[in-house]
């Protein structure tokens, strides 16, 4: 019976080593197969997941030998960390390892939407040469509003500054006089002021009870006419119906969303709109970030199972 179960596509040299040292059940689709998942958990001492597997209290309770839950990523919204703590199960994760990849994707979205690169590409591939149809705008001189000014928000700010953007940010956990605010020449503002002022709004908050549908009808209505909205955080932070309506009404000029309220999303939604870019939750998926993520969590699983101290423990 397996010692370690891996329920999603988590691979690389660090995973290969783990598989040599322990009995590992590796199945990228196991998260969908509740019966097999529960049967495997009857014996396993470790479970390694991404964001699809819901590690609920019920699942933890039916795993008598479980010592460690490893989340190959930063977000812990799919892991019941309180239930794990109550049952003495250690939760390890990768809180820093993929931040840069997410920040770079947000910048990629901004550049893409400023110059309409995807639309121009598709049009040109269609045999056209419509130069005058694709007159974009520059990021330089525009105001970037960062909702959430933690590690990823700050990485986006640092890079956007190099493009000549003015940075404003809202983060209810970060004091306005924090040294990084000064260093990045950012202005900390209220959420409402940010919505009313920013040309680009990029969201970098975790999914918590009070961030669910943080962006809904009222917030999209408050945004500056012609603003661009970017979400590389969590899909549930955005009310997709409200976003859809704002894009149809053109009150938002465009949006780019890497994350969805339901993943994978049902067919159809946003397909009829030209002013939205959609990607399948790939923010963390750079080769480099995934190497860091998988190495961190595999090392920590090994540490827990061999009685050593893990490095990235959620407390």
Active site residues: 234, 263, 281
Query: CB 99 → ligand MLT: shortest distance, Å?
Result: 9
- At residue 45, what are phi and psi to the nearest 5 degrees? -100, -15
Contact flag: residue 145 with ligand MLT (CB under 6 A): no
Count other C-beta atoms under 10 Å from residue 208's C-beta: 12
| Interface segment toward ligand MLT; rule CB under 6 A; list 34-42, 68-76, 209-217, 218-226 | 68-76
Residue 217 token pair: 């009808």
The DSSP 8-state label assigned to residue 68 in this structure reads: E
Q: Which of 98, 112, 143, 202 binds ligand MLT (CB under 6 A)?
A: 98
Of residues 75 and 148, the one with the C-beta less far from ligand MLT: 75
Do the Cβ atoms of 98 and 258 come closer than 8 Å? no
CB-neighbour burial class of residue 278 (10 A; exposed 0-12, middle 13-18, buried 19+): middle
Q: Which of 4, 18, 51, 89 binds ligand MLT (CB under 6 A)?
A: 51
Strand order in the sheet with 187-188: 187-188, 166-170, 143-147, 200-203, 227-231, 252-257, 276-278
- Among positions 266-285, residues that touch ligand MLT (CB under 6 A) are 283-284
| Count of residues that interact with ligand MLT, criterion CB under 6 A | 8
What is the rounded CA–CA span in Å between residue 259 and residue 236? Answer: 8
| Interface segment toward ligand MLT; rule CB under 6 A; list 71-79, 184-192, 222-230, 266-274 | 71-79
- Among positions 177-216, residues that touch ligand MLT (CB under 6 A) are none
List the beta bridge partners of residue 145.
168, 201
What is the rounded CA–CA span in Å between residue 256 and residue 114? Answer: 11
What is the rounded CA–CA span in Å between residue 259 and residue 94? Answer: 19
Stretch 226-265: interaction string toward ligand MLT, x if CB under 6 A: ----------------------------------------
Residue 38 token pair: 């529960």
| Interface segment toward ligand MLT; rule CB under 6 A; list 73-81, 190-198, 222-230, 305-313 | 73-81
Of residues 101 and 169, the one with the C-beta less far from ligand MLT: 101
Of residues 31 and 168, the one with the C-beta less far from ligand MLT: 31
Of residues 283 and 310, the one with the C-beta less far from ligand MLT: 283
Query: CB 245 → ligand MLT: shortest distance, Å?
Result: 26
Query: CB 124 → ligand MLT: shortest distance, Å?
Result: 32
Q: Which of 18, 47, 60, 73 binds ligand MLT (CB under 6 A)?
A: 73
Contact flag: residue 59 with ligand MLT (CB under 6 A): no
Please write down the long-range contacts of 237-240, taking CB distance under 8 Å and 24 or more positions apart. Answer: 237/203, 237/205, 237/207, 237/211, 237/212, 237/213, 238/203, 238/213, 238/214, 239/213, 239/215, 240/269
Q: Which of 41, 44, 66, 75 binds ligand MLT (CB under 6 A)?
A: 75
Q: Which residues of the chain form contacts with ligand MLT (CB under 6 A)?
A: 50-51, 73-75, 98, 283-284
């Amino acid at each position: 019976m397996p010692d370690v179960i891996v329920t999603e596509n988590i691979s690389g040299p660090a995973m290969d080593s783990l598989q040599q040292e322990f009995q590992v059940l590796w199945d990228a689709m196991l998260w969908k197969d509740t019966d097999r998942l529960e049967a495997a958990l009857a014996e396993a001492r470790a479970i390694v997941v991404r964001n699809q597997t819901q590690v609920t209290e019920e699942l933890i309770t039916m795993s008598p030998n479980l010592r460690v839950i490893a989340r190959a990523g930063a977000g812990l919204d799919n892991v019941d960390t309180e239930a794990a703590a109550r049952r003495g199960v250690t939760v390890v994760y990768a809180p820093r390892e993929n931040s840069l990849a997410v920040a770079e994707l947000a910048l990629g979205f901004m550049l893409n939407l400023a110059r309409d690169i995807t639309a121009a590409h598709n049009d040109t591939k269609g045999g056209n040469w419509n130069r005058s149809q694709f007159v974009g705008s520059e990021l330089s001189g525009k105001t970037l509003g960062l909702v959430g000014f933690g590690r990823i928000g700050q990485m986006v700010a640092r890079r956007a500054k190099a493009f000549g953007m003015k940075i404003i940010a809202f983060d209810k956990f970060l004091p306005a006089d924090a040294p990084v605010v000064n260093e990045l020449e950012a202005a900390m503002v209220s959420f409402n002021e940010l919505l009313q002022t920013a040309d680009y709004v990029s969201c970098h908050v975790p999914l918590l009870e009070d961030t669910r549908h943080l962006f809904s009808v009222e917030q999209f209505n408050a945004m500056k006419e012609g603003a661009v909205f970017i979400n590389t955080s969590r899909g549930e932070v955005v009310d997709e119906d409200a976003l859809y309506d704002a894009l149809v009404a053109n009150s938002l000029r465009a949006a780019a969303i890497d994350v969805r309220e339901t993943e994978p999303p049902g067919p159809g939604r946003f397909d009829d709109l030209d002013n939205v870019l959609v990607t399948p939750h790939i923010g963390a998926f750079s080769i480099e970030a995934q190497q860091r993520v998988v190495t961190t969590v595999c090392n920590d699983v090994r540490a827990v199972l061999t009685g050593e101290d893990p490095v990235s423990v959620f407390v």
